[in-house]
């Protein structure tokens, strides 16, 4: 695109972020038929304006309280959240990891009673407290990581190990059919501790993340009990995931 078209491209990047919650530099470069250097400049400018948070290899959207337009949760994430909420019982003790996909789960908890929720995300904590019937809230504390917009580190891991939980709900930057969930973030220790202290680990991820080649392994298949994704997943991939001993739930994204 020419310099005149740069504002339109940046607007389109925000539209993609609104739909997906996160995007990779290489994906944007292919989509806009431009270089990764140009995309990184776009992301830096948009981050400076407060529209997104850059992560290694991509960017995530900054949630904005009361914004009903660009920052709506995508229909796919809403469908995943509805399926995830069906696995939650009253009085459950949950961990909800940071991320736009897991955040979509929060409105579904409004009518649950006796809930206890721990999170490492200020955004998740704020959304939980905004519910009419908020759960008991626990925070991991720890060291703030601007790339993942969450608390990480040994303090957070120590706090988590002091509790036990019924379920962990966690997203993924990518899913390797041979290895498990993958991430751009090199800080994977807290995710692994979260999985250790939860009796059921539920991964929520759109089907377009499955097969992404991302170097950092977050959770191996042996640590994942359930994967909730959409019906865009092909039959071969479905079987490969089931072969790992994982309960696979593919939700319809078609309007009823």
Which of 137, 140, 246 lies closest to 190, judged by CA? 140
- Give the chain's count of helices (H) and strands (E): 9, 15
Contacts 24+ apart (CB under 8 A), 48-53: 51/14, 52/14, 52/17, 53/146, 53/147, 53/149
The residue written with tokens 């400049």 in the block is: 41
Q: Which residues contact 85 (CB under 8 A, 6 or more apart)?
A: 105, 108, 109
Which of 70, 96, 84 minimizes the C-alpha distance to 14? 70
pTM of the model: 0.74
Q: Which of 224, 160, 232 is nearest to 189 (CA)?
A: 160
Check residue 63 and give its pLDDT. Answer: 55
**Pairwise CA distance, residues 43 & 51, whole Å:** 9
Burial of 86 (0-12, 13-18, 19+ CB in 10 A): exposed
- Over the range 2-35, which residues count as b (16 or more CB within 10 Å of their CB) and which as e? eeeeeeebbebbbebbbbbbbbbbebbbeebebe
Q: DSSP letters of 159-174?
A: HHHT--EEEEEE--SE
| Tens-binned pLDDT, residue by residue, of the chain (256 aa) | 445 588 888 888 887 887 677 788 888 988 888 999 999 899 988 877 777 778 778 887 765 443 433 445 678 888 999 999 999 999 999 999 988 889 899 999 988 999 999 999 888 888 898 888 899 999 999 998 766 678 999 999 999 999 999 999 999 988 999 999 988 777 789 999 999 999 999 999 999 889 877 778 999 999 999 999 999 999 999 999 999 999 999 998 765 5
Per-residue model confidence (pLDDT) at position 171 = 92
């Amino acid at each position: 695109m020419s310099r005149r078209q740069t504002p339109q491209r940046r607007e389109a990047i925000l539209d993609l972020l609104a739909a997906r919650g996160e995007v990779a530099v290489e994906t944007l470069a292919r989509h806009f038929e431009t270089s990764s250097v140009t995309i990184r400049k776009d992301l830096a400018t948009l981050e400076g304006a407060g529209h997104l948070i850059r992560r290694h290899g991509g960017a995530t959207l900054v949630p904005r309280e009361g914004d009903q337009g660009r920052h709506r949760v995508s229909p796919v994430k809403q469908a995943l959240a509805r399926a995830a909420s069906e696995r939650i019982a009253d009085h459950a003790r949950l961990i909800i990891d940071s991320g736009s996909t897991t955040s979509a789960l929060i409105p579904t908890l409004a009518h649950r009673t006796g809930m206890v929720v721990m999170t490492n995300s200020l955004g998740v904590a704020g959304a939980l407290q905004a519910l009419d019937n908020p759960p008991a809230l626990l925070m991991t504390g720890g060291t703030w990581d601007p790339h993942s917009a969450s608390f990480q580190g040994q303090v957070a891991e120590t706090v988590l190990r002091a509790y036990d939980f019924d379920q962990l709900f966690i997203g993924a930057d990518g899913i390797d059919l041979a290895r498990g969930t993958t991430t751009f973030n090199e800080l994977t220790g807290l995710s692994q501790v979260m999985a250790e202290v939860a009796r059921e680990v539920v991964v929520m991820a759109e089907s377009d993340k499955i097969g992404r080649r991302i170097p950092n392994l977050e959770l191996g298949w042996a640590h994942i009990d359930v994967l909730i994704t959409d019906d865009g997943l092909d039959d071969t991939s479905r079987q490969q995931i089931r072969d790992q001993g994982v309960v696979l739930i593919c939700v319809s994204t078609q309007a009823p």
